[in-house]
């Protein structure tokens, strides 16, 4: 039996081909993909060839319906809607031995959408399927297209929760793409004292305003630092003056926002970096020494945590989905997702 799948060949070259539907073993499940979102890391792969090799199938932000279940798989049945991710990690490295699985150096060689075939396809196989380990049932409260946002919502939640937000915190979010707009909602659910969002795209800024940002900054037309001083206060530090944000989340992944985060955070504050940057960014380490912020990398997240936020509507995502493309038009889908002025989240429907 054949299926359609989008196969990566080289930067800017993804081709929809007819390939064999994966066979499953006794410990596996086969999922019919309903929707798959285009992640920022997928865009980096598409444009620059990062994280991926020719011949692979990308796609990890998805939901689907189980159509086959291996004989040894427990507590999962045909017809159930799920989000799942396979990762055959080494189990032997420093990080695996300490249950820090996301840090395993083999992760990108062995997980869904990278080393393992992903969900830009009609069907996807998940090996060693285990309920609430790498397969998560979707509650009835979530429709299919919302369920396809579980994975990026988990990333956004992690970027917030690692900062240990407090109810009086003044928060600045740099970047209002899908992740930034979900981060905004999760901070509001704490709730924190004030949330300021900076972004270059009017489309994305409008979304942030609708999601409840206390102030928005158009980074194309305004000084982000000066506006942040107005919104969260002036923060003097050794030999200079910055802003007074308790928490800054860098969700844009461009050199200017990474540098801005050091100016905007107060001395002793927290910076959470969740965006993947396309370029290396020179930064002034003297500012880090004098302001002594806590700088945290936010990688991955928890599917159960994300499902709970979505189920309880502490985060709503359907209105952040600006486009849905068929699998046959995936190249166009990537071009649209790559343009911040046109899109927030683009979905592919096989």
pLDDT in tens, the chain (350 residues): 999 999 999 999 999 999 999 999 999 999 999 999 999 999 999 999 988 999 999 999 999 999 999 999 999 999 999 999 988 788 899 998 998 888 889 888 889 999 899 999 999 999 999 999 899 999 999 999 999 999 999 999 999 999 999 999 999 999 999 999 999 999 999 999 999 999 999 999 999 999 999 999 999 999 999 999 999 999 999 889 999 999 999 999 999 999 999 999 999 999 999 999 888 888 999 999 999 999 999 999 999 999 999 999 999 999 999 999 999 999 999 999 999 999 999 999 99
For CA atoms 242, 243, 245, 246, give the dihedral sign: positive
Specify the length of the chain in residues. 350
Domain boundaries, the chain: 2-149+318-349, 155-297
CA 179 to chain centre: 6
Query: How do beta strands 81-84 and 135-137 pair?
Result: antiparallel
What's the whole-model pTM score?
0.96
Residue with tokens 């102030």: 215
Whether 168 contacts 191, CB under 8 Å:
no
Mention the CATH class of domain 155-297.
alpha beta
Enumerate helices (H) and strands (E) in the chain, giving the number of each.
11, 17
Mention the CATH class of domain 2-149+318-349.
alpha beta
């Amino acid at each position: 039996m054949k299926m359609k799948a989008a196969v990566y060949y080289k930067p800017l070259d993804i081709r929809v081909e007819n390939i064999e539907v994966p066979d499953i073993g006794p410990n596996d499940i086969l999922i019919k993909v309903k929707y798959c979102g285009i992640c920022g890391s997928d865009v980096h792969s598409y444009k620059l060839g990062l994280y991926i090799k020719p011949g692979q199938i990308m796609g990890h932000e998805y939901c689907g319906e189980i159509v086959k279940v291996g004989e040894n798989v427990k507590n999962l049945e045909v017809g159930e809607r799920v989000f799942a991710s396979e990762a055959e990690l080494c189990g032997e490295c420093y990080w695996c031995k300490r249950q820090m699985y996301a840090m395993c150096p083999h992760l990108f060689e062995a997980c869904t959408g990278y080393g393992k075939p992903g969900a830009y396809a009609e069907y996807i196989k998940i090996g060693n399927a285990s309920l609430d380990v790498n397969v998560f049932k979707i509650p009835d409260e979530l429709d299919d297209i919302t369920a396809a946002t579980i994975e990026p919502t988990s990333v956004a939640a992690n970027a917030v929760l690692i900062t240990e937000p407090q109810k009086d915190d003044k928060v600045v979010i740099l970047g209002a793409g899908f992740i930034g707009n979900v981060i905004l909602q999760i901070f509001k659910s704490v709730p924190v004292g004030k949330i300021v969002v900076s972004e270059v795209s009017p489309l994305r800024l409008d979304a942030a305003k609708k999601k409840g940002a206390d102030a928005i900054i158009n980074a194309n037309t305004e000084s982000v630092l000066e506006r942040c001083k107005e919104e969260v206060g002036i923060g003097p530090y050794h030999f200079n003056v910055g802003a007074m944000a308790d928490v800054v989340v860098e969700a844009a992944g461009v050199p200017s926002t990474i540098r801005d985060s050091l100016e905007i955070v107060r001395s002793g504050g927290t910076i959470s970096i969740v965006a993947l940057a396309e370029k290396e960014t020179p930064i002034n380490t003297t500012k880090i020494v004098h302001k002594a912020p806590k700088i945290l990398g936010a990688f991955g997240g928890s599917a159960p945590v994300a499902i709970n936020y979505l189920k309880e509507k502490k985060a709503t995502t359907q209105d952040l989905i600006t486009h849905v493309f068929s699998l046959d038009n995936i190249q166009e889908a990537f071009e649209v997702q790559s343009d911040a002025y046109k899109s927030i989240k683009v979905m592919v429907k096989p």
